[in-house]
Structure 1
Amino acid sequence: MKLRRLLGVMAKEVRQMRRDRITLAMIIGIPVMQLLLFGYAINTNLRDLSAGFADQARTSASRMLAHDIVATGVVTPVLEAETPQQLLEAMRRGKISIGIVIPPDYERRRTEGREALQILVDGSDNAVQSAAAQLARMPLDGSGFNPLAAGSIGVVGFYNPQRSSAANIVPGLVGVILTMTMVLFTAVAIVRERERGNMELLIATPLTSAELMVGKVVPYVVVGLVQTSMVLALGTWLFHVPLGGSLLDVFVAAALLIVANLALGLLISTRAQSQFQAMQMTFFLFLPSILLSGFMFPFAGMPRPVQWLAEVLPLTHFLRLIRGVMLRGASLWELWPDALALLAFSAVMMAGAILRFRKRLD
């Protein structure tokens, strides 16, 4: 791969973007419009939350209580711990959304009407807090005992104690905007060259398929990072979204999603015969991404086969990364499986685009 030829393709893409006013308007207009619409409008609820239990009482009554909590359908047990600290560590790493702590003197506390159960909540997902509040209002045994009325459950919200929907929506909106714009921009890249008659010129050049593909991707990586900065700045200014982790980790996670979406868009462009087809294929993939990734609807509440399908989508892994870094203060090293999934997706899509592209008109 020759650097000079690669820089030439990149310069060509930048000039083309500067001349395309619609593209420039989309780069700025889409993030602002979607941030305002989604930030003010969306609110969600959740069931089947991944939960960890720390039963320190270890009595028949405490085991019955844990069984009754699971029977509500609000939580699904995935972890047993010895201490609340172990639950918090698992929550920070994104392994559980709710921690249930039953103290050693549970039965005495309940008899005296004191707080007999503590629910630790991952507030980085606002729907988790809503589901926890729903759990606190449910009778947990056959006697009609209402924990909330008795004051026996303490719900402690972590990472988003104000239960702000924007704190949950805005980080995810970064991924939604990047998925829409990055895939669309590169999906029409090769098709546009063919329709405008530029393919004849490219065929006459010594450019390789890899140089052309990479040269078209790199300028849009910068565009994607600019969009990420816009959303983060507006989210902080308008909705006071916190940044619990490293800003560098946020941009690295965004760059991983940008490259994955750009590679997917290039693969689409090698398949489509017209810009209209490329746009149709883009929106065909965009809708499952936004619906199945966990951005609009609870991921844990979807059927298992649908969850397997969602694991193939880059946005699913990015949402886990961005919420873990921004709201829970986790690092990318702690969330490495999702970062690795984005890298693998990018490699497969880029390889497919390079192999499918041929410098010919037919």
Structure 2
Amino acid sequence: MGFSFQRFRAATIARSIEFLRDRSALAWNLMFPVLMVVGFAAIFSGPGQPVFKVAVVASAEPSPAMHPFLGTPHVQFYREPELEAAKRKVARHRVDLLLDFSGEKPRYWTNPESPKGELVEKLLLGSGGVAPEKQQATGKPIRYVDWAVPGILGVNLMFSCLWGVGYVIVRYRKSGHLKRLNATPLRALEFVSAQIVSRLALVMTTTTMMFVGCNLFMHFPMEGSYIDLFILTLIGSLSLTSMGLLVAARVGSEEISGGLLNVISSPMMILSGAFFSLDGSPRWVQALAEIFPLTHMLSAARSIMLDGTRLIDLGYPLLVLVGTTVVCMSFGSLLFKWTQD
């Protein structure tokens, strides 16, 4: 018996209606990210304490041996691997100053519109040693909420994808619902596909509505293409949903599935760069963050929104997201069982 589109469509509609009838879950999925966006905008959009961050492009970790300025207290120095990426951060006011020791003569970049950059420049010139050659990187600043909104929506999307598939399927198995479905002509592939498509449709609809609604009031910058951002979000949602499917493939206890989903979602929420930049964090933290698909989805979304990067130029993040989807989907489908036995 082959794949039946009619059975697949019926299962998809049934799951979608079940979610829409759960008004508390629907309201939470809609209101939670909106409240977070408003809260972060109110807390972080105003003036704050001056915190200096300096990016350093060099072959080794920044140290006073390179230049006396690198020993200045109360200034965070971190190594930046790519000069062009660091220059964009200066232009966007994400770092206060950029030092380049990769060429024959040291150079530094500041943004003439950045008050903090001007102060750090004075510290640099007054620190002694050979004065680097001055360059400028101009660009309008981005608000914290502009940088954080992909993370806020991404975290909400992550929870919806993981729990909306992982927890629900386990609940079906424990209650005997899957056992009854197994007695029907519905095949495992049709059921799993229906769950994924239903979740993707609901997640993409609610996320789009929230983004558009918040954008009407906060006017997020968009240097790239909305179509590219939509496609990226769809691929990222599929990747996260496939992880939820892998968790739910054989687990028969809601408690165990909840624990596994928390083990996956908690570090992903903290280390993916959703609410704060990982620039300057320890190398092992950045390496660990590379494991999570949410990290790549958020970095790619910010590249599209803030830097105007095209989707075709985001090969590595897309490769990670697609690879995660293929691996998790394959193992989830192979390991899937209808009953707890």
Q: TM-score, normalised by structure 2?
A: 0.79
1:266 alignment partner in structure 2: 245
Structure 1 residue identity aligned to 2:38: L
Kindly tell me: are residues 117 and 342 of structure 1, through their superposed partners in 2, closer, same or farther at Cα, counting changes over 3 Å? closer
Trace 1:45-56 onto structure 2 (pairs within 5 A). Answer: 47=53, 49=55, 51=57
| Aligned length, in residue pairs | 321
SS at match of 1:262: helix
Cα deviation code 1:3-25 (max 9, x no counterpart):
22221221221121133222222
The aligned residue for residue 321 of structure 2 is 342
Contact 1:178 1:257 in 2 (8 A): no
Indicate if the aligned counterparts of 1:244 and 1:327 stay in contact, CA closer than 8 A: yes
1:52 touches 1:99 (CA, 8 Å); kept in 2? Answer: no
Measure the CA separation in 2 of the matches of 1:257 and 1:204.
Answer: 34
Whether 2:223 is the aligned partner of 1:244: answer yes
> Which residue, out of 32, 40, 49, partners 1:30?
32
Kept in 2: contact 1:65–1:140 (CA 8 A) = no
Letter in 2 for 1:296: F
1:74 aligns with one of 74, 77, 81: 77
Q: Which residue of 2 aligns with 1:17?
A: 19
Give, in whole Å, the separation in 2 of the partners of 1:145 and 1:360.
72
Match of 2:288 among 290, 293, 309: 309
Aligned residue identity for 1:143: G
Name the residue aligned to 1:329. Answer: 308
2:293 touches 2:324 (CA, 8 Å); kept in 1? yes
**Shift in Å at residue 155 of structure 1?**
5.8
Give SS of 1:188's match. helix
User: Contact 1:236 / 1:242 at 8 angstroms: preserved in 2?
Assistant: no
Question: What is the alpha-carbon distance in structure 2 between the residues aligned to residue 273 and residue 35 of structure 1?
Answer: 36
User: 1:34-113 to 2 correspondence within 5 Å?
Assistant: 34-42=36-44, 47=53, 49=55, 51=57, 67=67, 74-79=77-82, 87=84, 91=88
1:3 partnered with 2:15: no
Residue 297 of structure 2 aligns to which amino acid in structure 1?
F
Deviations 1:182-230, CA, capped at 9 Å, x for gaps: 2111111211212333122221123333222111010111111122213
**What's the offset of the Cα at 1:300?**
2.7
Q: Which amino acid aligns with 1:38?
A: F
**SS of the residue 1:207 aligns to:** coil
Question: Given residue 77 of structure 2, which amino acid in structure 1 is its aligned partner?
Answer: V
- Structure 1 residues 193 and 232: CA distance shift in structure 2, 3 A: same
Task: Find out whether 1:232 has 2:211 as its counterpart.
Answer: yes
Q: What is the rounded CA distance, in whole Å, between the counterparts of 1:298 and 1:35 in structure 2? A: 17
**Structure 2 unaligned regions, length at least 5:** none
Percent sequence identity is: 24
Q: Secondary structure at the match of 2:316?
A: helix
Q: Secondary structure at the match of 1:244?
A: coil
Unaligned runs of 5+ in 1: 54-63, 81-86, 108-115, 124-128
What is the DSSP-based 3-state SS (H/G/I as helix, E as strand, rest coil) of the residue aligned with 2:124?
Answer: coil
With structure 1 as the length reference, what TM-score do the two structures score?
0.75
Q: 1:210: which partner in 2?
A: 189
Show the counterpart of 1:222: 201
- CA deviation after TM superposition for structure 1 residue 140, in Å: 4.7
Contact residue 74 and residue 131 of structure 1 kept, 8 A? no
Q: 1:25 to 1:67 in 2, by over 3 A?
A: same
Give the superposition deviation at 1:169.
1.0
What is the aligned counterpart of 1:136 among 100, 109, 121? Answer: 121
Which residue in 2 is equivalent to 1:182?
A: 161
- 1:341 Cα deviation from its structure 2 partner: 0.7
Structure 1 residues 234 and 28: CA distance shift in structure 2, 3 A: same
The change in CA–CA distance for 1:305 and 1:193 in structure 2 (over 3 A counts) is same
SS at 2:79 equivalent:
strand
Match of 2:110 in 1: 119
Residue type of the alignment partner of 2:214 = G
